[in-house]
């Protein structure tokens, strides 16, 4: 066990002091042991290697004491996470804990067989996490009746919005708070094109950004956004007001055509780059202020001050909703989930780590903000407001994951502006008036239709994504999309999902 000379010496000293009855601090004994080390995979926006090591060491100083284990950081980028996470699980690489979100989808991870059922361990070792969600919400992370993930409480709301540059809305006196329809934004975008040389109104990228099909906005629960082109938002759905919960192929609906027509009009007007850049290029262009706004399906009440500092070179960014009411779906629960890897040699410690990340404010904010004094300082400790130390900003700070929704209970996260004081109350009010999906809690079993899903992904990528992004004429492009997904087996997919939803409803009615 103690193969290193210093460890053999420490072991001998401990034996002597114990033999003569001297009290030894528990922390000293613990440091002499080979503690389990958890390989943790998560998404990080930016950091410096030396700072990562420093934050990792600080985290381990807490974890060794609280759960008797250590953690080893494995970072993923927003660009590589959608494929890398699944590859790690498929390959059985060393892994104990992984974070999932829209950038690393949980349902896709479950289908790899690379996650462990953790329901019993949660009950014993993560009671706080278990109590954060209702039985219906826990259904979202079940497969075959077993719990394969632990949701993170991100609170908040989720509805379609623009993140728009405040310097431009002020410059052109645009009343963004009153622009509550998509069409109301067109005068602003036109002005940007006319007056701001080199600035494109809206962000787009390959593959994620720049689409117009937002299922929730158009009144659909997409069931699973893995059904369709990679990084798209799904090719099937159930209408939010349909008590009969009929599954439809959305490309054949009037709402999808409406989205396609909007996408085409905006593409032709020049609101998007003619060729979407890859994500890394988009990130660089955004930092150079070459875009005016993001169009997002998940706008919320929380301040965008940190995002502005990290991603927009410090210009103010406002959240402008154009969807009047938030929608609660299974997908909202899956927006942030922890999973324990099937190959983990330390699953109990992995579950304890998840609980600690959702209960220990010091640990959680260490992951979010780094080391106090070096990466952040108190601005208003009484109200838990933090900021950068003097001479440091979002571009120069050494630790900046920029994923506050990922690590743990949002109610414990320090805030970065007085604007977020009381935001939890605003979130609660919005959620109280939310539209709840009629299939809330339903999680599809995609294994019976894997062949059709693979064919659909290829067909949708080639024929439907250009429609979704406005890159082709609507009539011919939409027809080609419909024909291609028909040939790929969309009807079989719809029938299988309908059967599963019918069985799920019957089971819940009992």
Cα separations (Å) of 62 from 214, 253, 361?
A: 41, 53, 11
Query: Phi and psi (nearest 5°) for 320?
Result: -115, 105
Confidence check: pLDDT of 261 > 80 = yes
Mean pLDDT across 468-492: 98
pLDDT of residue 507: 84
Would 35-155+332-431 and 159-331+439-509 be classified into the same CATH topology? yes
Listed range (92-101, 132-141, 354-363) with the worst mean pLDDT = 132-141
Boundaries of every domain in the chain = 35-155+332-431, 159-331+439-509
Of the candidates 297, 83, 281, 280, the one whose C-alpha atom is nearest the C-alpha of residue 211 is: 297
Q: How confident is the model at residue 31 (pLDDT cuts 50, 70, 90)?
A: low
pLDDT category of residue 17 using cuts at 50, 70 and 90: very low
pLDDT at 70: 98
Comparing CA positions, the residue from 204, 237, 207 lying closest to residue 327 is: 237
pLDDT, tens only, 111-128: 899 999 999 999 999 999
Residue 392 has pLDDT above 70, yes or no: yes
Residue 14 pLDDT more than 50? Answer: no
How confident is the model at residue 510, as a pLDDT? 55
Contacts (Cβ under 8 Å, ≥6 apart) of 492: 449, 452
Report which listed range, 153-167, 180-194, 220-234, 426-440, is most confident.
180-194
Residue that wins the pLDDT comparison between 330 and 290: 290
**With 80 as the cut, is the pLDDT of residue 8 above it?**
no
C-alpha span between 414 and 408 (Å, rounded): 12
Lowest-pLDDT choice from 49-53, 206-210, 245-249, 252-256: 206-210
Q: What is the pLDDT of residue 384?
A: 95
Position 433 scores a pLDDT of 85
User: DSSP state, 464?
Assistant: I
How sure is the predictor about 108, in pLDDT bands with cuts at 50, 70 and 90? confident
Average pLDDT over residues 297-309: 87
pLDDT at 27: 47
Alpha helices by DSSP H, listed for 20-48, are 26-31
User: Pick from 465, 448, 471, 364: which is nearest to 414 by CA?
Assistant: 364
Position 215 pLDDT exceeds 70: yes
Packing angle, helices 49-66 and 347-357, rounded to 10: 100
Q: Say how far apart CA 24 and CA 221 lie, in whole Å.
A: 58
Cis peptide bond prior to 207, omega within 30° of 0: yes
Rounded Cα distance between 452 and 442, Å, is 21
Asked if the model's pLDDT at residue 455 lies above 50, the reply is yes
472: pLDDT strictly greater than 70:
yes
Looking at the predicted structure, is the pLDDT value of residue 409 above 60? yes
What radius of gyration do the chain's Cα atoms show? Answer: 24
Judge whether 107 and 334 are in contact, CB under 8 Å: yes
pLDDT given for residue 33 in this prediction: 59
**Mean of the per-residue pLDDT values of the chain:** 91
Report whether pLDDT(11) > 80: no
Instruction: Please tell me which residue, 19 or 461, carries the higher pLDDT value.
Output: 461
pLDDT tens-digit readout, 367-379: 999 999 999 999 9
At residue 200 the predicted structure's pLDDT band, cuts being 50, 70 and 90, is very high
Task: Decide: 369 and 402 in contact? Cβ < 8 Å.
Answer: no
Domain made up of 159-331+439-509: CATH architecture: 3-Layer(aba) Sandwich (3.40)
Q: Is 230 helix (H, G, I), strand (E, B) or coil?
A: coil
Quote the pTM value. Answer: 0.76
Instruction: Report the share of the chain in percent with pLDDT over 70.
Output: 93
Architecture of domain 35-155+332-431: 3-Layer(aba) Sandwich (3.40)
* Angle ∠(218,221,227) on CA atoms, nearest 5: 105
Max avg pLDDT among 78-82, 275-279, 328-332, 421-425:
275-279
pLDDT class for 309, splitting at 50, 70, 90? confident
Give the pLDDT score at 7: 39
Lowest mean pLDDT among 189-203, 412-426, 486-500: 412-426
**464 token code pair:** 């439907």
Outline where DSSP puts E strands in 130-174: 142-143, 146-147, 150-151, 159-165
* Side-chain half-sphere exposure of 33, counting CA atoms within 13 A: 13
37-43 and 70-76 as β-strands: parallel, antiparallel, unpaired?
Answer: parallel
Joined tokens for residue 446? 């995609």
> Mean per-residue pLDDT for 173-183?
96
Question: In terms of Cα–Cα distance, which of 238, 229, 273, 268 is closest to 481?
Answer: 229
CA 255, CA 215: separation in Å to the nearest integer? 9
Q: What is the pLDDT of residue 5?
A: 39
Residue with tokens 């040699």: 345
């Amino acid at each position: 066990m103690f193969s290193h000379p210093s460890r053999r010496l420490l072991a001998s000293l401990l034996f002597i002091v114990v033999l003569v009855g001297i009290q030894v601090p528990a922390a000293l004994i613990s440091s002499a042991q080979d503690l389990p080390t958890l390989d943790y995979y998560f998404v990080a926006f930016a950091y410096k290697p030396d700072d990562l090591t420093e934050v990792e060491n600080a985290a381990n100083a807490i974890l060794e004491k609280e759960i008797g284990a250590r953690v080893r950081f494995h970072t993923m980028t927003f660009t590589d996470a959608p494929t890398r996470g699944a590859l790690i699980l498929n390959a059985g690489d060393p892994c104990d804990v992984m974070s999932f979100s829209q950038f690393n989808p949980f349902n896709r991870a479950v289908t790899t067989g690379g996650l462990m059922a953790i329901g019993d361990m949660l009950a014993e070792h993560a009671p706080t996490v278990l109590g954060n969600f209702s039985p219906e919400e826990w259904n979202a992370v079940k497969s075959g009746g077993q719990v394969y993930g632990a949701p993170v409480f991100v609170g908040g709301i989720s509805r379609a919005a623009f993140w728009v540059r405040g310097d431009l809305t002020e410059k052109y006196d645009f009343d963004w708070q009153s622009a509550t329809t998509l069409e109301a934004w067109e005068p602003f975008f036109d002005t940007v094109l006319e007056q701001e040389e080199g600035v494109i109104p809206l962000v787009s990228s390959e593959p994620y950004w720049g689409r117009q099909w937002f299922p929730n906005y158009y009144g659909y629960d997409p069931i699973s956004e893995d059904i369709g082109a990679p990084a798209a938002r799904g090719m099937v759905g159930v209408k939010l007001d349909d008590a009969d919960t009929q599954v439809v192929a959305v490309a054949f609906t009037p709402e999808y055509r409406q989205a396609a027509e909007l996408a085409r009009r905006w593409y032709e007007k020049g609101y998007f780059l003619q060729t979407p850049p890859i994500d890394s290029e988009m990130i660089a262009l955004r930092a150079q202020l070459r875009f005016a706004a993001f169009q997002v399906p998940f706008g919320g009440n929380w301040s965008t001050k940190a995002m502005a500092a990290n991603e927009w070179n410090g210009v103010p960014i406002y959240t402008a909703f154009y969807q009047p009411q938030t929608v609660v779906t299974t997908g909202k629960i899956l927006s942030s989930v922890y999973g324990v890897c099937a190959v983990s040699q330390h699953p109990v410690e992995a579950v304890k780590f998840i609980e600690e990340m959702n209960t220990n404010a010091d640990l959680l904010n260490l992951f979010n903000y780094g080391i106090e004094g070096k990466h952040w300082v108190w601005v208003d400790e009484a109200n838990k407001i933090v900021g950068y130390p003097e001479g440091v900003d979002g571009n120069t700070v050494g630790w900046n994951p920029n994923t506050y929704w990922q690590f743990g209970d949002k109610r414990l996260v320090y805030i970065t502006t007085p604007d977020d004081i009381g935001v939890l109350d605003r979130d609660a009010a919005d959620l109280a008036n939310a539209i709840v999906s009629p299939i809330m809690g339903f999680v599809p079993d995609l294994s019976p239709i894997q062949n059709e899903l693979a064919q659909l992904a290829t067909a949708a990528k080639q024929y439907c994504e250009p429609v979704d992004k406005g890159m082709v004429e609507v009539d011919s492009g939409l027809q080609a999309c419909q024909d291609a997904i028909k040939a790929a087996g969309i009807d079989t997919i719809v029938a299988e999902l309908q059967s599963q939803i019918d069985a799920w409803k019957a089971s819940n009615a009992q």
